């Protein structure tokens, strides 16, 4: 146990009794691996889906579907890193992002807009893909 005295007051410093179960660094490594693995699994799943289709451009459609769905994994990691940068503690500039309301509102808006854009792209792509597959069924 460390002890020191300042201005007649004795301070005792005890080692931490509670430890983090998962550190930010460990989660960052896990999320990075999950992003890479998720991307390739989605591309692979798109190609497996394409194998079951009869459309003449099934391989292109399957790869594009897998790529677009897999792109959400690197986007997730990018947003995570941006979030960490926004809540950083920078004592040289007297900035503690986690304790600022403007950072909280900015993060809320950023993630809402990112989710809306991803949702819009997914909806537009799903409609386009449905039309592509329906055109093949109508042909004699």
Tens of pLDDT, residue by residue over 89-116, are: 888 888 888 888 999 999 999 999 999 9
DSSP H/E element including 95: strand 95-96
Q: How confident is the model at residue 139 (pLDDT cuts 50, 70, 90)?
A: low
Q: Which tokens belong to 7?
A: 């201005």
Residue pLDDT, tens place only, 6-51: 667 666 666 666 677 888 999 999 999 999 999 999 999 999 998 9
| Residue 14: C-alpha distances to residues 9, 18, 21 (Å) | 16, 11, 19
Give Cβ neighbours of residue 107 (< 8 Å, ≥ 6 apart): 83, 86, 87
């Amino acid at each position: 146990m460390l002890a020191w005295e300042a201005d007649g007051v004795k301070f005792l410093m005890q080692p931490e009794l509670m430890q983090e179960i998962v550190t930010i660094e460990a989660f960052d490594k896990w999320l990075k691996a999950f992003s890479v693995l998720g991307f390739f699994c989605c591309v692979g799943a798109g190609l497996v889906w394409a194998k079951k289709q009869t459309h003449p451009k099934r391989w292109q459609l399957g790869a594009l579907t897998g790529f677009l769905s897999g792109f959400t994994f690197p986007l997730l990691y990018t947003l995570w890193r941006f979030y960490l940068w926004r809540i950083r503690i920078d004592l040289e500039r007297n900035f503690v992002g986690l304790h600022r309301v403007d950072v909280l509102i900015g993060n809320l808006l950023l993630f809402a807009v990112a989710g809306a854009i991803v949702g819009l792209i997914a909806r537009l792509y799903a409609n386009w893909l449905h039309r592509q597959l329906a055109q093949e069924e109508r042909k004699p």
